[in-house]
Amino acid sequence: MEERPTDMAPVHVLVFPWPLQGHINSMLPFAAGLLGAGVHVTFLHTEHNLRRVDRAASPRLRFASVPDGLPDDHPRSVAHLGEIGRSLRPSASAAYRALLAPPLSARSHADGGFPPVSCVVADGLLPFAIDIAEELGVPALAFRTESACSILAYLSVPRLVELGEVPIPVGADLDEPVRGVPGMEGFLRRRDLPSSCRGHGAEADELDPMLQALAKYTAHSCKARALIFNTTASLERSALAHIAPHMRDVSAIGPLHVISAAPASATSLWREDDGCTTWLDGHADRSVVYVSLGSLATISREEFAEFLPASSAPTTRSCGRSGRTWSGRARAPLSRKPWTRRARARCASWTGRRSETCCGTAPWGAS
């Protein structure tokens, strides 16, 4: 991004991600790009997450926090996403409002601090952040870390329900085509939709509460001044074109991890296993199978073993990222298992972007 002219009034953008690793991965590089354009940035974490990241700031970057209302020992895992959302809004709203309130912002600037917040870029999963900003007269934009195709599917949920395509019946053929998502009629299958679109057990005819929430939050983005995607028009031109009529404006600005990389220490909620990169450096090019499970996945020993047969070849090894696998509490690291050594595999509890780049992967969106 180009530097702003020095005679313009200072711009201060508050960036507020959903408090999970994959969302921070997208939105902190976005904040770094704003810094490169001469903009002041406040990056807003939850108090729990702010304690876990590198807080190294710059003259135009500061990290702030709001409470999420959950106890310190809460797992904050994929199984608790609804609980996180229900707790975050009532717990964070007052502190968030104070950051935007003109009297406080103006006093900070008078003391030599940051200028008043002039714009908010909030995760699309935080509709209250958009509502409060607009209520206070601060323009708000929504940012979605998922693909445009994914967002289009969530926008289409009412139509999918109307057509009887969602919820997907238990035991149904998952290769059956889905007709209710515009532009994808020729290739979209039931199995391509989020798992929350599938019926479960005795309540198979009812919409999953998580799906209802995601569809509601996605529709709410039309109230923002614009919807920003971490994607490119060259990849998702059709999906972006179908989303645009529902929004006030749409921008595709990715892939952000390539365009405007942020320091790894500032993005990661967990300590990275630097030894994984050293291990990779000791192997020939194209000899490693890299399995990235993200930050929320839960995987068993048996499931992980399915990746190992390819590692028995003389020139092939595998490097797995176990993510942070919670099932109430963190599981034991898979790297302690002797069967990983026999398969010439290395498991890391969390690896950095440099390891992923060495393996030729391009992580996109939320984990």
Residues acting as catalytic residues: 23, 123
User: Which of 42, 37, 28 has the alpha carbon at shortest distance from 5?
Assistant: 37
Segment holding 250, helix H or strand E: strand 250-252
Distance of CA 333 to the CA centre of its chain: 24
Segment holding 291, helix H or strand E: strand 288-292
Dihedrals phi, psi of 104, to nearest 5 degrees: -70, -45
Distance CA 299, CA 149 (A): 26
Distance CA 222, CA 123 (A): 13
Distance CA 155, CA 150 (A): 9
Distance CA 35, CA 40 (A): 6
Dihedrals phi, psi of 227, to nearest 5 degrees: -115, 120
Yes or no: say if 66 and 91 are a contact pair by the CB < 8 Å rule: yes
Segment holding 62, helix H or strand E: strand 61-66
With a CB cutoff of 8 Å and minimum separation 6, the contacts of 96 are 16, 44, 66, 129, 132
Instruction: Enumerate the β-bridge partners of residue 330.
Output: 326
Give the gyration radius of the chain's Cα atoms. Answer: 22
Distance CA 252, CA 90 (A): 31
Running DSSP on this structure, what letter comes out for residue 176? S
Dihedrals phi, psi of 301, to nearest 5 degrees: -60, -40
Cis, peptide link before residue 255, omega less than 30° from 0: yes
